[in-house]
Amino acid sequence: MESIEVAQQYFKAWNAHDPSAVIATFASGGTYSDPTAEGLTGEAIGRMVQRLINSFHDLFFDIVSMGAVGPDLVAAEWLMQGTDQETGGRVGLPGSDFIRVEDGKIRSVQGYFDNGTMLKQLGLELMTYPAEPQGPISFGSATRLQTEKRVRPGAISLTWIESHSDADGQHLSEYTEKIVEETAQMPGFLGIMLPFIDNRGYTLTAWEDVEQPRRLLREGQHKESMKWFFSKESSAFGMTSVWELHHIRLMVRCSACHRVVDLEANRTRCSCGEPLPDPPPYL
């Protein structure tokens, strides 16, 4: 089979949303690499394909051009199109693959694309930070979910779980998403922050009183995640805690005189007479 035909089969399998068919185009030990993956082989290639299909249900590669650039090397220019499942945004990501073929099978695929282009198309912001700790300082990202409530918190729960394998990370991501959705519907929930630093994921949650976070340990997705955490499937370890507030001060700045005013005194006006802005969320 000609190298061009092998490359065509490869893209046909992608567009058919068939991870097994994509794997079948590779030789034993054949590798896939791109800016987000390095040296994937066998089932790892299939999992990567499935993740992308799950993210873009109508995923399709339009081949802009394809040609042999050597006896066993094919260069393909493509436009990946699809609709993101989470945001509903459309992407049209240009890229290219260099596909090396050996005895009718793919020995390697080296892909090139600008991951930042896809993020911008989805309305997401690309942030960069050092991958490795700088002395005692580590870097990461965070997400916040807040409610319309402006109730004074009575307790803060702090949990973190540190993953030590790709499987741990996948489980942690799936459980976290479900737990956040469930927690947001619970009485007394005020807001949550989810920092992720190195391989450690944190949840910092504000509650109206100290009794409410205890429900997380007894029911729902949090209870299911604890079963996984304590099972032999997991290699993760972590910490959970509930902190009852000793004191809290919420301060805003007057737009007229720029004085900082403590809202915990139940004040609605600054001493200069200007109405104070509405209180922001506590978390």
| Secondary structure of 154-217 as H, E, C letters | CEEEEEEEECCCHHHHHHHHHHHHHHHHHHCCCCCEEEEEEEEECCEEEEEEEECCCCHHHHHH
Pairing relationship of beta strands 105-113 and 90-102 according to DSSP bridges: antiparallel
Q: How many Å apart are CA 248 and CA 148, to the nearest integer?
A: 19
CATH number of 141-244: 3.30.70.100
Tokens of 170: 């996948």
Q: What is residue 181's predicted lDDT score, i.e. its pLDDT?
A: 85
Specify the pLDDT at position 5.
95
Provide the CA 86 distance to its chain's centre, in angstroms.
11
Report pTM: 0.60
Residue 98 pLDDT: 97
> What is the residue whose two structure tokens read 């922001």?
280
* 195 close to 267: Cβ distance less than 8 angstroms: no
CB 101 within 8 A of CB 25: no
Kindly compute the dihedral angle of the four CA atoms of residues 48, 38, 198, 176, in this order, to the nearest 10 degrees: 0
User: According to the model, what pLDDT value does residue 125 have?
Assistant: 61
pLDDT score, position 124: 61
> Could you read off the pLDDT tens digit of each residue along the chain, which spans 283 residues?
799 999 999 999 999 999 999 999 999 999 999 988 889 999 999 999 999 999 899 999 999 999 999 889 999 999 999 998 877 888 899 999 999 999 999 999 999 998 777 777 776 666 667 777 888 888 888 888 888 888 889 999 999 999 888 778 877 888 888 888 888 888 899 999 999 888 889 999 999 988 888 777 666 777 788 888 888 888 888 998 999 988 888 888 999 999 998 887 777 888 899 998 888 888 8
What are the boundaries of each domain within the chain? 3-121, 141-244
Q: Does domain 3-121 have CATH number 3.10.450.50?
A: yes
Establish whether domains 3-121 and 141-244 are of one fold: no
pLDDT at 6: 96
Q: Which amino acid is at 232?
A: K
Query: Is 158 exposed, middle or buried, given 0-12, 13-18 or 19+ CB atoms closer than 10 A?
Result: middle
Of 152, 87, 77, 149, the closest CA to residue 120 belongs to 87
Structure-token pair, residue 108: 């390697």
